[in-house]
Amino acid sequence: MKLNKYSVGVGDRFAHQAKAQLQACVKALEHGVEVVPVWNKSNREHSIIGSDPTSVRAAADAAVQALGWKLPYFCDADHITAETVERFLAPCDFFTFDVAEFIGQPAEAEEIESFVKRHPELHGSIELPGADQAFEITRDQLQQTAEKFLAAVKKAGEVYRIVLGAKGAGNFIPEVSMDETDRAQTPVELLIILAAIADERIPVETIAPKFSGRFNKGVDYVGDVAQFEREMALDVAAIAYAVRQYGLPENLKLSVHSGSDKFSIYPAINATMKRFNVGVHLKIGLAEAGGEGLALAKEVYGEALKHMEELCAPYATVIDIDPAKLPSAEAVRGWSSGEYTSALRHVEADPAYNPSLRQLLHVGFKVAAKMGPRYLKLLEANEPVIAKNVTENLFDRHIAPVFLGR
Ligand SMILES: [Zn+2]
């Protein structure tokens, strides 16, 4: 089992859109580009909705069957740890070990020392083929980076071995994620982290660093796009070096956890992939569904507003909501369908577009989940419209700019 060069991670919170999402990969194939789907749903999302990982597997299998998809596809146990992995073991074949919370935790002094000793190649000047600059790493820097990340990498090893014991070598795709943290990892840190991952004997196929800039849920990238592109290029060069130097899998690539709608960096991602002839795993999460019924949508907003603090807490590092920009529930109740859609739909040029409202609704799905059958019935009633939106949105706004370069 091996992850393809191009892959897209999609979320399907209510297990109703897998076919529509797969249809977008079918469209990519019709354009001559293989982009394989990975259905991801984090433990956090399952807990909030009250769903189980087997539902993701069932929806994925059914979609693949219905559309006759012949290429690989995967189910991702997204952002799991040793504590939460258990129920993902049977249905999943892609595991994202989230070790962000262990960054900065102290590792054993002798482990740090032996890491630094084991890697003399990591201090001094490292030439990276294809990169604009060499890495200059001092011994102190190597030591400090090991101090900061070694415990986190050990945690990745711990959960990797749990999955290995349950599924066997080669039967799943391992990803290591460090994206949900406040401080970005530099390309130099990424290289040192990869050396530690190789020491832990994790055959990692995708790695999700925290890039600089903000990756808030459902809204565009906030940051310097040129800086992102320079950083991504150095990350890619560091990965290529680590693959050769440490015998990591040949197909190891970056996983960009976009949190959806990072349109402004898509051209940079495409350009970097072309420049280095590498792939990427674009973990979108949820692309916009749309057309879910105005009255219900307003109700969801009102409830989300009321429970804003509790809804936002688990996503603190990946949202930036300005409460002053949120209209009152009463104001929204008076909106027309057009007003609601313009505020919600991600069109930067539209003055009515409201990123704070959009982010709140992006994390407010717990409210919809609580509505239970009423919400699901509505999803089903609107299935043809929603499906068309999902496919078009996923293909035109995400897959085409990243993988087809247009
Ligand atoms: Zn993530």
- From the CA of 175, how far away is ligand 1's center (Å)? 11
Residue 316 class from Cβ within 10 Å (0-12 exposed, 13-18 middle, 19+ buried)?
exposed
| Residues lower than pLDDT 70 in the chain | 286-293
- From the CA of 322, how far away is ligand 1's center (Å)? 22
- Specify the pLDDT at position 217: 85
d(CA 328, CA 21): 33
- From the CA of 129, how far away is ligand 1's center (Å)? 28
Task: Determine the 3-state secondary structure of 88 from DSSP.
Answer: helix
How far is CA 212 from each of CA 33, 104, 170, 310, rounded to the nearest angstrom?
29, 18, 33, 26
- From the CA of 180, how far away is ligand 1's center (Å)? 6
- From the CA of 285, how far away is ligand 1's center (Å)? 9
- From the CA of 131, how far away is ligand 1's center (Å)? 26
Q: Whole-model pTM?
A: 0.86
- Specify the pLDDT at position 36: 98
Return phi, psi of residue 137, to 5°: -120, 120
d(CA 177, CA 257): 9
- Specify the pLDDT at position 182: 86
d(CA 178, CA 206): 11
Tokens representing 388?
A: 């068309």
| Residue-wise DSSP of 284-318 | EE------S-HHHHHHHHHHHHHTHHHHHGGGGGG
pLDDT digits (tens, 9 = 90+) for 3-59: 999 999 998 877 788 999 999 999 999 999 999 999 999 999 899 888 999 999 999
- From the CA of 256, how far away is ligand 1's center (Å)? 8
> Which residues, other chains included, contact 78 with Cβ-Cβ below 8 Å and sequence gap of 6+?
9, 40, 41, 42, 43, 45, 96, 283
User: Which candidate, 173, 197, 177, places its Cα nearest to that of 185?
Assistant: 177
d(CA 124, CA 137): 5
- Specify the pLDDT at position 336: 79
Residues, the chain: 406
- From the CA of 82, how far away is ligand 1's center (Å)? 17
Q: Is residue 69 within 8 Å of residue 33, measured between CB atoms?
A: no
- From the CA of 261, how far away is ligand 1's center (Å)? 14
CA-based angle 236:239:242, to the nearest 5? Answer: 155
pLDDT digits (tens, 9 = 90+) for 225-240: 999 999 999 999 999 9
d(CA 37, CA 73): 5
User: Which candidate, 4, 60, 39, places its Cα nearest to that of 285?
Assistant: 39
d(CA 186, CA 343): 35
Return phi, psi of residue 7, to 5°: -145, 150
Return phi, psi of residue 298, to 5°: -65, -40
- From the CA of 257, how far away is ligand 1's center (Å)? 5
- From the CA of 224, how far away is ligand 1's center (Å)? 20
Q: List the alpha helices (DSSP H) in 215-307.
A: 225-246, 266-276, 294-306
- From the CA of 259, how far away is ligand 1's center (Å)? 7
DSSP state of 211: P
Q: Is residue 256 within 8 Å of residue 268, measured between CB atoms?
A: no
Strands 36-42 and 173-177: unpaired
- From the CA of 181, how far away is ligand 1's center (Å)? 9
